[in-house]
Amino acid sequence: MSAQLPIRRLGTSGLEVSAIGLGCMGLSFGYGPETSKEDAIKLLCKAFELGVTFFDTAEAYGPFANEALLGEALAPFRDQVVIATKFGFKNGKTDLGLDSSPQNIRNVTEAALKRLKTDRIDLLYQHRVDPVVPIEDVAGTVKELIKEGKVKYFGMSEAGVESIRRAHVVQPVTVLQSEYSLWWREPEKEVFPTLEELGIGFVPFSPLGRGFLTGTINANTKFDPTDFRNIVPRFNEENRKANQIVVEKLREFAKKKQVTPAQIALAWVLAQKPWIVPIPGTTKIHRLEENLKAAQIILTKADLQEIEDVFSTIEVQGARYPQHLQQRVGK
């Protein structure tokens, strides 16, 4: 490994990873056409070379294509990285609804082990809480998989406080993954105090606001027809226009620090708690390099107060999910 990122511990479980991980979804799914295999492998290898040891995927990304991609790209240094994947959708397809039945969890795990070319999954997340399956049964199944050596740690994604507490009694939850950034701070209210109390780490996805906080998206941006952001209320043209104020303020602050808006957005997330590890995604090596440099930026108390003072007066426009997807979060 030619570069070194600071290491962070996710909660009290002993799981240690690079302070910034890599969200891999966008290489195969969600944000327009998938990246060519050759370019995707180059990016994943470059991330490792730059010190990233934490890679996030899911069976639903593709479906299946993303896990297979990581399996191939990370094979040469498998024992030096932490791979997180997820179960929880019928046949791995988000549009078919949820399935966290014990049998499905087992099936997904076996299939993921093959695709990831590995004998264990470092961190296995429930992708969304399934209202039909008691969370105790989910946690119990993962507990068995941990005993069998197929999984090392249990995580939950977008779960609410009650589900986290109930699951944690059966099998300690190592990590909660949810959206969190300068323009989506909901987890601070109830989730953070619960995680702190139980010793659970936090992995924010979309720490750059699905790209918006980089300053590269405006009211005139046209997304690919297959891009998920086309159905996100926060990204409709009117709201993008209204929310430009967020980027302008970020840009002003970044200019004073002689860094980029994306780097400030990530440094801010890192400064919130020592047990937070953001996983920004990208398909471009220069963006990857830019993002990882955020780990070197130290924001002082005065800096953080200034950001707080400015951003607390801005009301971000638009919901972060369309209604049908919003129903799946915070359960």
Task: Check 61, 125, 153, 180 and give the catalytic one.
Answer: 61
108 within domain boundaries: yes
Q: For residues 132-155, b (16+ Cβ closer than 10 Å) or e, as one string?
A: ebebeebbbbbbebbeeebbbbbb
Answer yes or no: is 128 within a domain.
yes
Q: What is the pLDDT of residue 1?
A: 41
128 within 8 A of 94, measured Cβ to Cβ = no
Answer yes or no: is 116 within a domain.
yes
Domain holding 39: CATH number? 3.20.20.100
Given a contact cutoff of 8 angstroms between Cβ atoms, the answer to whether 240 and 221 are in contact is yes
Question: 121: domain range?
Answer: 7-208+272-297
Instruction: Return the pLDDT at 3.
Output: 66
Residue (of 85, 23, 29, 39) closest to 61 by Cα position: 29
Asked whether residue 19 is assigned to any structural domain, the reply reads yes
Q: How many independent structural domains does the chain possess?
A: 1
Helix (H, G, I), strand (E, B) or coil at 156: strand
What whole-number distance in Å separates Cα of residue 52 and Cα of residue 12?
21
- Please say whether the beta carbons of 295 and 6 come within 8 A: yes
User: What is the residue whose two structure tokens read 């969370």?
Assistant: 135
240 domain residue, yes or no? no
Burial per residue of 316-331, b for 16 or more beta-carbon CB atoms within 10 angstroms, e otherwise: bbeebbeeebeebbbe
Flag whether 314 is in a domain.
Answer: no
Is 153 one of the annotated active-site residues of the chain? no
The answer to whether position 290 is within a domain reads yes
Tens-digit pLDDT string for the chain (331 aa): 446 899 999 999 999 999 999 999 999 999 999 999 999 999 999 999 999 999 999 999 999 999 999 999 999 999 999 999 999 999 999 999 999 999 999 999 999 999 999 999 999 999 999 999 999 999 999 999 999 999 999 999 999 999 999 999 999 999 999 999 999 999 999 999 999 999 999 999 999 999 999 999 999 999 999 999 999 999 999 999 999 999 999 999 999 999 999 999 999 999 999 999 999 999 999 999 999 999 999 999 999 999 999 999 999 999 999 999 999 999 9
For residues 254 and 266, the answer to whether their CB atoms sit within 8 Å is no
267 within some domain? no
Given this model, what pLDDT does residue 287 score?
Answer: 98
| Cβ atoms < 10 Å from Cβ of 66 | 27
Q: What is the pLDDT of residue 125?
A: 98
What is the DSSP code (8-state) at residue 210? Answer: T
Question: What pLDDT is attached to residue 4?
Answer: 84
pLDDT for 2: 43
Cis peptide before 6 (omega within 30 of 0): no
Structure tokens at 197: 């109390």
